[in-house]
Amino acid sequence: MKMLIELFYTFSKIGAFNFGGGYAILPFIEKEIVINNGWLSRYDFIDLVALSQITPGPISINSATFIGYRLAGLVSATVGTLGLVFPAFFIVILVAKAIKKYRSCDWMECAFLGIRPAVIGLITASTLSIGRTAIIDIKSVLMAGFTAVLVFKTRLNPILIIISAGVLGGLIYSL
């Protein structure tokens, strides 16, 4: 029970401050789930990102469900996912009311003058920590180079990029 409350609280915290969407959530998950609570290993964390990229739905929901499920099955998966979206109910409804009254969200737009560049730093920080865990030998350097060519030269869909890397990795690492 204590674990469920902690899980709900942890994902509520993440849900309330996850500005910038998508990958911007990764440093939060790394800090709260991997480092502070030890609910996921560094490798499982990266594998989770891979899984949520090749399945439909936003990374944050995918992560909450996956991490919850890994902890104690369906109940904790539900608790984690509900925890993540819980703050949105209050924030969205309150803001909806405030906007009807004042007809603007100017101060939020001002805040984004700071949040937007900060999110770039957040995502770069995740690139560094995930890179440090994932790129460790000659083979992984080659894999990163192969993906970089696909990502920056071909504009291939990320799902196809992950599948190609999986196939090539399967061949290289099985040999």
Partner 1 sequence: MTKLFKFFVVFLRIGAFTFGGGLAMLPLIEREIVDNNGWMTREEFIDVIAVTQCMPGVIAVNTAIYLGYQLFGIWGTIFGALGAILPSFIIMVLAAEFFIAFRDNSIVQAVFMGVRPAIAVLIFSAAVRLGKAVDRTAHNILIALGSLISISLLGIHPIPVIVVAALIGIVKARGYEKNENAD
Burial of 56 (0-12, 13-18, 19+ CB in 10 A): exposed
Subset of 16-55 contacting partner 1 (CB under 8 A): 16-19, 21-23, 26-28, 31, 43, 46-47, 49-55
Minimum distance, C-beta of residue 101 to partner 1, in the bound complex (Å) = 13
Minimum distance, C-beta of residue 3 to partner 1, in the bound complex (Å) = 17
CB atoms within 10 A of CB 75: 13
CB 3 within 8 A of CB 75: no
Choosing from 5, 116, 154, 160, the residue that interacts with partner 1 (CB under 8 A) is: 116
Write each residue from 51 to 90 as x if it is in contact with partner 1 (CB under 8 A), else as -, in one continuous string: xxxxxxxxxxxx--xx--xx---x--xx--x--xx-xxx-
Cα 125 to the center of its chain, rounded Å:
13
Q: What is the C-alpha to C-alpha distance for residues 155 and 5, in angstroms, rounded to an integer?
A: 42
Minimum distance, C-beta of residue 2 to partner 1, in the bound complex (Å) = 22
- Tokens 């984690």 locate to 80
108 counts as binding partner 1 under rule CB under 8 A: yes
Subset of 131-160 contacting partner 1 (CB under 8 A): 131, 133-135, 139-141, 143-144, 146-148, 151-152, 158-159
